[in-house]
Amino acid sequence: MKLPAQPFQKQRRVAEKSYSQNNFQNLQSHIEYLKRLTQLISPILAQVLIHEGDWQVASLEDDVLCIATEHHTAASQLRYLQHHVIKSLQQLPDFAAVKRLKIVIEIQPKPKIISHGRLPALTPEIRQILDDAASAFQDTDISDSLRRLAREQR
């Protein structure tokens, strides 16, 4: 007796794809929600912070609003003025239940600078392969680029 393994696997892949698309859509809508909350509280925080715009809403759960910033100064200011900020936030319908601020410092990593050494010269065989590949393309830009690469001396 043969088991229908193939249709089951196909259904499973479709279900996994659908599940991952739903997760992606949920994540995307959550990010949009956090962006909207950040825009809503922007005028309030702009009144009390020196580093304007260097923060964002990280989460809003129950009565706790979590704000992330890169600057220790902004974090200290928010912690010091949190009661004033909370009273101002409670005037907005989305933040009426907020009773506590959680301030986190989140330092963004600096991009790594990658330096490459000089590549070795192309061998005659590689030059021939590039020239042959250039002949195979109908697109003149691609074929010209491959031919230039084949002629390049290092």
Q: What is the per-residue pLDDT across 36-57, written as a single tens digit (0 to 9) for each?
A: 999 999 898 888 876 666 789 9
Evaluate whether 65 touches 97 at the Cβ level (below 8 Å): no
How many percent of the chain have pLDDT more than 90?
Answer: 32
HEC secondary structure over 52-104: CCCEEEEEEECCEEEEEECCHHHHHHHHHCHHHHHHHHCCCHHHCCCCEEEEE
Evaluate whether 101 touches 117 at the Cβ level (below 8 Å): no
Burial status of residue 119 (CB atoms within 10 A of its CB: 0-12, 13-18, 19 or more) = exposed
Alpha carbon distance 104, 66 (integer Å): 7
List, for residues 114-151, the tens digit of each pLDDT value: 887 877 888 889 888 888 888 888 888 888 988 888 88
Other Cβ atoms less than 10 A from the Cβ of 49: the count is 20
Question: Residue 118 corresponds to which tokens in the numbers above?
Answer: 């000089």
Alpha carbon distance 6, 150 (integer Å): 47
Q: Is the pTM of this model over 0.75?
A: no
List, for residues 61-97, the tens digit of each pLDDT value: 989 999 998 888 888 888 999 999 999 999 999 999 9
